[in-house]
Structure 1
Amino acid sequence: MAAHKRLHDGFEQDPDQPEKKRMERSVSFSTVIREAMVMKQVQSVFLVLEPLLRRVVQEEIQAGLVRSPRYIERSSPETPPAAEPPALRLAFPFPPALPIFTGSKIEDVHGEPLQVILVDAVTGSPCGALPQFMRVELVPLFGDFPPDGREDWTTGEFARGVVKERAGKRPLLTGDVGLTMRDGRAVVNDLQFTDNSSWVRCRKFRIGARVMPGSYEGGRVAEAMTDAFNVRDHRGELYRKHYPPALTDDVWRLEKIGKEGAFHRKLRQNGVETVQEFVRMLTVRPEILRAIMGDGMTDRMWEVTTSHAKTCDAGDKVYAYAGHGATVYVNSLCQLVRLEFAGVECAAQQLSRDQKAYVHRLYVEAFEQRHSLQEAEPLPAAMLLHASSSSNSLPMLQSKQPGRAAAASGDAALVPGQPGAGPPDRRRALRRPGQLWLPDVPEQLQLKMQEEQSFSCVH
């Protein structure tokens, strides 16, 4: 009976066993597939992260070695324990001009080739000629070298501060990286960076100079380095500002005016495309220029832009514009540099209000016809009015504030007896109201001028 029951139970369990095994096999197979796919994805991530992690670890280890005193290069048994400080050192007499872009030639702040000189380590004075020449190597350094802001370092520390180029990149510093120093001076005619500084931890580089081993048999010569600076991608050079701006520069070279930006488009639509045109309008018609820029340019931005524009060099060219009995001379920026009445030079401080009104009229006409002015002979420096003070000497030539007319009213200036109008005379009494009388111009000429046209102050 028991045997029959066991046989019966076994018979009842047999139909379920194949199904259960099939499910186990199915579950195991799907699990293997999922695990294989996950492993493949993880391996792909590792392939991407591995070079990044290696670079980060390499930079941190290198920085740690520079800072750790345990890794300072040990002296060889033949070297004395305490080496004497170097008597000579290299130096850069002038820092490099900033900003520095990749692929661009590096020059000093005076626009001359960079130089390396040999100086006394204590006094810093240049040394004379050495009995032999020495070879100097230029290298890129980390911007945060030397460690802890120290002013001295060992040869080993300097070597560890040299920046290695990124994998697959050209040498970081190219050009005249190997120099021959004669008479204590070496000139760097060609030097440029091939990569920007954004990928290093401190985001800055220095240029270092050291004596090549074996090229000098004397004592140690201390290395030189420049201040830290950023190296930008050369694409940014296309949009950089100029200091000072040139007359022919595009107007977007000025501060706060971006290329193809809103201000640039407004100026271009009004015919102001160069720095020269911008300064001309700023000198003669500042209120119109301010209106062109609109409310989008704040007073602070306006101050920055105009201050930058005023650093533009006007050059030596002088242009003349003649009226009836008077001639105004302006420079390339429409700044008044000389006045003549009846062929005689007149100082700006000696002008009456009537004369200022007339000069202002000629001055504005010269601006409006600036593209057809005739160039005059260069004037001696002693005969030129100071361009920056001419507007102060002739307050009617410029508005006191952008967007407003001149403070003085032309009608008030022409009425005899008003303060500052000068004593009345026979000729003043005979003129009609609103007519201009020039004291230094002959009477017949002025009567003829009155017949041709009447003048009024330009606001």
Structure 2
Amino acid sequence: DTRGNQTVLFPSPFKVDIVVLDGDFPLDGKNWSKEEFDRYIVKERTGKRPLLAGELVVTVRDGVGLIENIEFTDNSSWIRSRKFRIGAKVAGGSCQGVRIREAMTEAFVVKDHRGELYKKHHPPTLGDEVWRLEKIGKDGVFHKRLASEGVHTVQDFLKMWVVDHAKLRTILGPAMSEKMWNVTVKHAKTCVMGNKHYVLRGPDYKVLLNPICQLVNAEINGSIYTTHNLSDINRVSVSNWLYS
């Protein structure tokens, strides 16, 4: 209570209101009045739903109250501190003539879940949907064009970029400028490839590929070649085996 360190026991249950506070409260970190607490309660933005939804009135019995189901309906980016606190105060402000001090959590950031759903990944993974790449919006024109050609993931995108660069560029069309194209490809190429490799075998050759169909090495007529020491003739042969 506010009269000192005295512990007061309440024989009957009482109600507690759950509210949202500005993350900057309290300013001195220790003491505040009821009026100061109320002044820092944050309400919803104009035209928005109530900022906090769920069971916002809790019954306290024997000093214990259980908060079971509350959720934020908006993010915290629009207030100066960019953080919220959850606060609790006795309904009506007092109980049996004794002022009970309000309680609060630590300050925390509330993010917009919808924003997270559409977020780009840095770096992307091979299994990410292709719209996770920069300049390709979810359900946008580029996403739909790629999907219509079977390019659904970042791995699909990079495979086509390796195998048929011109076709990939044609699919995206002139609406994607060269600058946008370069940004998208650069982002895709930051993808972590992992350690998985694939083997393509023929009568007199064996080719080792990474997950996006890039050549790692080739064994031709018993001789092993890397991408650096393949002759022009052998390089053309390998390309024909891979992409024909």
Contact 2:199 2:206 in 1 (8 A): yes
Partner of 1:231: 111
Distance 1:360 1:170, change over 3 A: same
Alignment of 1:245 with 2:124, yes or no, is yes
Residue type of the alignment partner of 1:254: L
Distance 2:162 2:123 in 1: 18
- Tell me the TM-score normalised to structure 2 length: 0.60
Please list every run of 5 or more consecutive structure 1 residues that lacks an aligned counterpart in the other structure: 1-75, 78-138, 173-191, 209-222, 366-459
Distance 2:192 2:114 in 1: 27
Alignment of 1:345 with 2:224, yes or no, is yes
Name which structure has the greater RCO, CA cutoff 8 Å, separation 6+: 2
Distance 1:299 1:156 in 2: 59
Distance 2:111 2:133 in 1: 22
Partner of 2:89: none
Structure-to-structure mapping, 1:327-338, within 5 angstroms: 327-338=206-217
Cα drift, residue 146 of structure 1 = 7.9
Cα drift, residue 237 of structure 1 = 3.9
Distance 1:141 1:343 in 2: 73
Distance 1:195 1:254 in 2: 28
Residue type of the alignment partner of 1:342: N
Distance 1:168 1:238, change over 3 A: closer
Distance 1:351 1:198 in 2: 57
Partner of 1:358: 237
Distance 1:236 1:347 in 2: 44
- Aligned pair partner of 1:309 in 188, 194, 208: 188
Structure 1, residues 297-323: CA drift from partner, whole Å, max 9, x if none?
Answer: 112211222222223333332111124
TM-align CA RMSD? 4.0
Distance 2:21 2:186 in 1: 36
Cα drift, residue 155 of structure 1 = 2.1
Distance 2:239 2:71 in 1: 53
Alignment of 1:154 with 2:51, yes or no, is no
Secondary structure of the residue aligned to 1:170 is: strand
Structure-to-structure mapping, 1:391-402, within 5 angstroms: none
Alignment of 1:204 with 2:82, yes or no, is yes
Distance 2:147 2:232 in 1: 36
Alignment of 1:289 with 2:168, yes or no, is yes
Q: If you compute each CA radius of gyration, which structure gives the higher value, 1 or 2? A: 1
Structure 1, residues 178-200: CA drift from partner, whole Å, max 9, x if none?
Answer: xxxxxxxxxxxxxx962323685
Please list every run of 5 or more consecutive structure 2 residues that lacks an aligned counterpart in the other structure: 5-18, 45-49, 56-69, 87-104
Distance 1:153 1:359, change over 3 A: farther
Structure 1, residues 396-423: CA drift from partner, whole Å, max 9, x if none?
Answer: xxxxxxxxxxxxxxxxxxxxxxxxxxxx
Distance 1:230 1:296, change over 3 A: farther
Residue type of the alignment partner of 1:231: K
- Tell me the TM-score normalised to structure 1 length: 0.34
Distance 1:193 1:303, change over 3 A: farther
Cα drift, residue 296 of structure 1 = 0.6
Cα drift, residue 338 of structure 1 = 2.4
Cα drift, residue 352 of structure 1 = 2.0
When you count helix as a share of all residues, which structure comes out higher? 1
Secondary structure of the residue aligned to 2:206 is: strand
Distance 1:140 1:245, change over 3 A: farther
Secondary structure of the residue aligned to 1:304 is: helix
